[in-house]
Amino acid sequence: MEEVWLCQWSTIRSLLAILQWWGFNVTVIVMNKWIFQKLDFKFPLSVSCIHFICSAIGAYIVIKVLKLKPLIVVDPEDRWRRIFPMSFVFCINIVLGNVSLRYIPVSFMQTIKSFTPATTVILQWLIWRKYFDWRIWASLIPIVGGILLTSVTELSFNMFGFCAALFGCLATSTKTILAESLLHGYKFDSINTVYYMAPFATMILAVPAMLLEGNGVLEWLHTHPSIVPSLIIIFSSGVLAFCLNFSIFYVIHSTTAVTFNVAGNLKVALAVLVSWMIFRNPISGLNAVGCAITLVGCTFYGYVRHIISQQPPGTPRTPRTPRNRVELLPLVNDKLDDKV
């Protein structure tokens, strides 16, 4: 009887973890799009910088004040030699995600971000000459095909936003690959990652944000009719972006790898549906089919990686990159890079 109760509680806990992860993710995406489109705050660098500041403060409170997570100690030399390069790529990744969201609909942006598995495999094959099982390559076909169909049939296509989202995929893949070598020996979770990277990212982005968007932000502050409510929404999106990192940490420790993969793809579908209900961006039938094909391909890709990872020792298999689900975490933005 006790075993049955424990099993039921484990299932309920996993479901609650997934639901709160979905809730934070969809809310952050919709709020960011609302900031760009409805509040007319068209400054993605500034929004990203606010998110980094909120995440840095939140991580400090969780680790140093509330002590909900133990601090993973990093040598001062490694902070600059390892953490800083990761933070630079991390910063580019987040900024490109927000820039793409500024110009294209959530549905299109989320679909393009699903191209990340393909860019990761291709980069590892081209640059690091890593071998991949033929099943991995086969699983990428529906992802690439779905992305092509979605791009060709997108009614609100914007080349600048499309390129930003595509280069964001490359940045996510680069960050994932670099994490395997630069962070080797450190078992970072999402909270400790934000604790170390968000301050560096803020430092990297603050000057470009002020130079490129400073005058525009000042003009917006003087001309926008509802400053206080708008600022509350903008800074609330930063707070929720940090909460999203905490939710990722919770869901990783409450679900299996397969469940995490499937839930991640369903999360994208949910984000697309909710954003369409709010912003009513036009979506053609073929466009929806392309998005669905992409998500099915991502699920199949995750399943193939899981099957290969379960092969007995000594069996030739694809190198596991990243080595665990924590390394898969784009630490504050996407499908797995959840904060946008």
Number of other residues whose CB lies within 10 A of the CB of residue 41: 24
Q: What is the mean pLDDT of residues 50-79?
A: 92
Token pair for 295: 């998500």
User: Using one digit for the tens of pLDDT, what is the confidence trace for 119-133?
Assistant: 989 988 988 888 888
- Measured between alpha carbons, how far is 260 from 264 in angstroms, rounded to an integer? 6
Which has the closest alpha carbon to 172: 58, 338, 300, 18? 338
H-helix or E-strand containing 183? none
Instruction: Enter the tokens of residue 79.
Output: 């902070």
Sorting pLDDT into bands at 50, 70 and 90, what band is 320?
very low
Residue type for position 337 = D
**pLDDT level of residue 222 (50, 70, 90 thresholds):** very high
pLDDT of residue 316: 52
> How confident is residue 190, by pLDDT bands cut at 50, 70 and 90?
confident
pLDDT of residue 313: 59
Q: What is the mean pLDDT of residues 32-51?
A: 95
Q: The whole model's pTM is what?
A: 0.84
Q: How many CA atoms lie within 13 A of 6 on its CB side?
A: 3
Q: What is the mean pLDDT of residues 108-124?
A: 91
Burial 270-308 (b: 16+ CB within 10 A, else e): bbbebbbeebebebeeebbebbbbbbebbbbbbbbbeeb
CA distance 122 to 303: 18
Between 300 and 245, where is the model more confident?
300
pLDDT digits (tens, 9 = 90+) for 223-279: 999 999 999 999 999 999 999 877 877 787 777 767 777 888 888 889 999 999 999
Average pLDDT for residues 329-340, to the nearest whole number? 41
